[in-house]
Amino acid sequence: MCELLGMSANVPTDICFSFTGLMQRGGRTGPHADGWGITFYEGKGFRTFKDPKPSCHSKIAELVQQYPIKSCAVISHIRQANRGGVCLENTHPFTRELWGRYWTFAHNGQLTGYENLEAGRFQSVGDTDSEIAFCWLMNQIDSKFPQPPEDWSQIFEVVAECCDELRKLGVYNMLLSDGEFVLTYCTNNLHWITRRAPFGKASLIDEDVTIDFQQETTPNDVVTVIATQPLTNDERWHKMATGEFAVFHYGELINKRVPDIPQDLPSSAS
Amino acid sequence: MCELLGMSANVPTDICFSFTGLMQRGGRTGPHADGWGITFYEGKGFRTFKDPKPSCHSKIAELVQQYPIKSCAVISHIRQANRGGVCLENTHPFTRELWGRYWTFAHNGQLTGYENLEAGRFQSVGDTDSEIAFCWLMNQIDSKFPQPPEDWSQIFEVVAECCDELRKLGVYNMLLSDGEFVLTYCTNNLHWITRRAPFGKASLIDEDVTIDFQQETTPNDVVTVIATQPLTNDERWHKMATGEFAVFHYGELINKRVPDIPQDLPSSAS
């Protein structure tokens, strides 16, 4: 499978601490050695660093870890390939333009019967189930909203319904962003945490690194990190339920759809 | 204005030498301090490094210079802003997907009356004349070829005609690639050189660096470099004429359309 990492923040924030934890799982503390990628939004623009090599040995991952790029929306992924060969075109995240915005997507899981998903004008370049699902999802949004609606909750509803459809095809954990919103969907493994004042300390699980967020932040900062598995061992992460959909906007949870049976229990991570 | 750098090669080749020359012009030996970017194709995939900061001071440009990424098609750009603010979404190259291929574009020049170019489904994210011209160009290709034609010379003809149209709006020097072909168009400043056996030595104009290509290549390598201005002072670069359009495919010039009055004189660069 793979691991996802996302961030939504109300001030441009670097993700070096969390990324340091994630990249260890790309071949060292985890088996996700088939490439990695990270997309940083800055305003309406974005930049993606990616490599089909393991993140734990990647010069480019080293740069991303050491060079603080500040962003309000980040999507990252480390890959353990199942569908599609190990090559750059199959390396997440994937990006397409719609409505003059760049949309970026990463997926953790495995789908079957995805080959016939109708993607319209959004054609897949690689041959992963993930990119095909992304193209189908973008086509669904585009078909229903040739122009962006004033009320974005309509879009969230459509995306959540599309995610339900994709979950019928297998395991579908997702991060999706247009640079402003970070949309998340959980089939089995997705956790998030919102950090705000009073800030404390946190220690990575995968690397001997502790950070004191109070030294790194101002009292108004709100930063949400979303990850397949918790990245720290001394904070409380929210575990998302099967079928749960959540939208973060500049750090705040603004839209949430839980399945009928509540399963949203915080994971014990202390 | 800006400067362009492109490469087309028959074997995956790094562009560290040429890029080292170009990046000096991004704030040191040249005034192009408003950002830079470079796109490397690897198979059908690509990766873009970009920064709205001057390339001569950029940590990311330093990585690209030192870390040899091997590619058969590269598009690069350093920017001196005229239309559109200095920010990531206005930083070239720009990429869009068409026919399940990623198309990447960079422009040197300045256009007027570009605001009304009809871009159809390819919407501009930033507000440069360049990106709007690119979206219009992609829309023209898409409108004329909903599917890629078997004979790609039909596409080249359409692109060349579109470039002629854009040149009516101002200065339009262009690099465009789908990862396989590198398409070029000249209004006033574009030069290229094809290096093949027997390889010799070359020295950068902008930095005290000399390379012996014989040490870096095999006898079958064919590598074309395209640049706004020659990057070396001891090789013969071809100067393209006003209105000239040329296509390179794995290093070889495969399609060329010169204006009625031949102006294709090699520049004296020794």
Q: What is the pLDDT of residue A14?
A: 93
Q: What is the pLDDT of residue A260?
A: 67
Q: Cβ–Cβ of A97/B100 closer than 8 Å?
A: no
Phi, psi of A66 (to 5 degrees): -100, -20
Phi, psi of B137 (to 5 degrees): -60, -45
Contacts of B78 (CB under 8 A, 6+ apart): B2, B3, B22, B23, B25, B26, B30, B32, B35, B36, B55
Q: Distance between CA atoms of A205 and A102, rounded to whole angstroms?
A: 33
Q: Does B89 touch chain A if contact means CB atoms closer than 8 Å?
A: yes
pLDDT above 50: residue A32: yes
Q: Distance between CA atoms of A174 and A222, rounded to whole angstroms?
A: 22
Nearest chain B CA: its distance from A155 CA (Å): 19
Q: Distance between CA atoms of A155 and A247, rounded to whole angstroms?
A: 11
pLDDT above 70: residue A199: yes
| Reported confidence tier of residue A30, pLDDT bands at 50, 70, 90 | confident
Contact A95, A45 (CB under 8 A): no
Interface size A-B, in CB pairs within 8 Å, comes to 83
Q: What is the DSSP letter of A133?
A: H
Nearest chain A CA: its distance from B41 CA (Å): 9
Task: Show residues of chain B in contact with A48, CB under 8 Å.
Answer: 47-48
Instruction: Return the closest-CA partner of residue B20 out of B38, B34, B2.
Output: B38
Name the catalytic one among A2, A56, A135, A186.
A2
Structure tokens at A49: 């660093």
pLDDT digits (tens, 9 = 90+) for B176-213: 999 999 999 999 999 999 999 999 999 999 888 899 99
Q: What ipTM was estimated for this complex?
A: 0.92
A162 carries an active-site annotation: no
Task: Show residues of chain A in contact with B48, CB under 8 Å.
Answer: 47-48
Q: Cβ–Cβ of A101/B43 closer than 8 Å?
A: no
> Which of A46, A57, A89 should be substituted to probe chain B, the one whose Cβ sees the most B Cβ atoms within 10 Å?
A89
Task: Show residues of chain A in contact with B148, CB under 8 Å.
Answer: none
Q: Distance between CA atoms of B36 and B93, rounded to whole angstroms?
A: 8
Indicate the domain borders of chain B. 2-267
Structure tokens at B177: 């690639």
Distances (CA, A) of A212 to A22, A129, A139, A200, B47: 19, 39, 43, 6, 34
| Reported confidence tier of residue B260, pLDDT bands at 50, 70, 90 | low
pLDDT digits (tens, 9 = 90+) for A117-145: 999 999 999 999 999 999 999 999 999 99
Q: Cβ–Cβ of B126/A44 closer than 8 Å?
A: yes
Q: What is the pLDDT of residue B201?
A: 93
Nearest chain B CA: its distance from A141 CA (Å): 14
Q: Does B42 touch chain A if contact means CB atoms closer than 8 Å?
A: yes
Q: Distance between CA atoms of B57 and B201, rounded to whole angstroms?
A: 28
Q: Cβ–Cβ of B59/A67 closer than 8 Å?
A: yes
pLDDT above 60: residue B31: yes
Of A43, A50, A102, the CB nearest to B47: A50
Q: What is the 3-state secondary structure (H, E, C) of B111-148?
A: ECCCCCCCCCCCCCCCCCHHHHHHHHHHHHHHHHCCCC
Nearest chain A CA: its distance from B187 CA (Å): 28
pLDDT above 70: residue B264: no
Q: At what angle do helices B59-66 and B16-24 cross, to 10 degrees?
A: 150
Q: Among A149-163, A166-180, A240-254, B24-38, where is mean pLDDT lowest?
A: B24-38
Q: Cβ–Cβ of A88/B60 closer than 8 Å?
A: no
Q: Does B70 touch chain A if contact means CB atoms closer than 8 Å?
A: no
| Reported confidence tier of residue A10, pLDDT bands at 50, 70, 90 | very high
> Average pLDDT of A60-84?
90
For B123, name the nearest residue in chain A, comparing CA atoms only: A100
Instruction: Return the closest-CA partner of residue B103 out of B114, B112, B95, B113.
Output: B95
Q: What is the pLDDT of residue A267?
A: 47
> Average pLDDT of A12-25?
89
For residues B131, B135, B138, B139, the Cα torsion angle rounded to the nearest 10 degrees is -160
Structure tokens at A68: 């603080």
pLDDT above 60: residue A146: yes
Of B46, B98, B126, the CB nearest to A88: B46
Contact B11, B218 (CB under 8 A): yes
Q: What is the pLDDT of residue A45?
A: 97
Q: What is the pLDDT of residue A82?
A: 81
Q: Distance between CA atoms of A263 and A184, rounded to whole angstroms?
A: 16
pLDDT above 50: residue A268: no
pLDDT above 50: residue B28: yes
Q: Distance between CA atoms of B44 and B102, rounded to whole angstroms?
A: 7
pLDDT above 90: residue B261: no
The topology under which CATH files domain B2-267 is Glutamine Phosphoribosylpyrophosphate, subunit 1, domain 1 (3.60.20)
- Helix, coil or strand: residue B18: helix
Q: Does B125 touch chain A if contact means CB atoms closer than 8 Å?
A: yes
pLDDT above 90: residue A231: yes
The rounded percent of chain A whose pLDDT value lies above 70 is 96
Write the single-letter amino acid at A102. Answer: Y
pLDDT above 50: residue A198: yes
Contact A71, A42 (CB under 8 A): yes
Q: What is the DSSP letter of A241?
A: P
pLDDT digits (tens, 9 = 90+) for A163-191: 999 999 999 999 999 999 999 999 999 99
Strands (DSSP E) found in chain B = 2-13, 36-42, 45-51, 71-79, 94-98, 101-108, 173-177, 181-185, 191-195, 201-203, 210-212, 223-227, 237-239, 245-249, 252-257, 266-267
- Helix, coil or strand: residue B67: coil
pLDDT above 80: residue A210: yes
Task: Show residues of chain B in contact with A96, CB under 8 Å.
Answer: 97
Q: Distance between CA atoms of A242 and B260, rounded to whole angstroms?
A: 67
Q: What is the pLDDT of residue A21?
A: 86
Q: Distance between CA atoms of A264 and A241, rounded to whole angstroms?
A: 5
- Helix, coil or strand: residue B162: helix
Write the single-letter amino acid at A219. Answer: P
Q: Cβ–Cβ of A97/B59 closer than 8 Å?
A: no
**CATH class (in words) of the domain with range A2-110+175-267:** alpha beta
pLDDT above 80: residue A261: no
Q: Cβ–Cβ of B123/A45 closer than 8 Å?
A: no
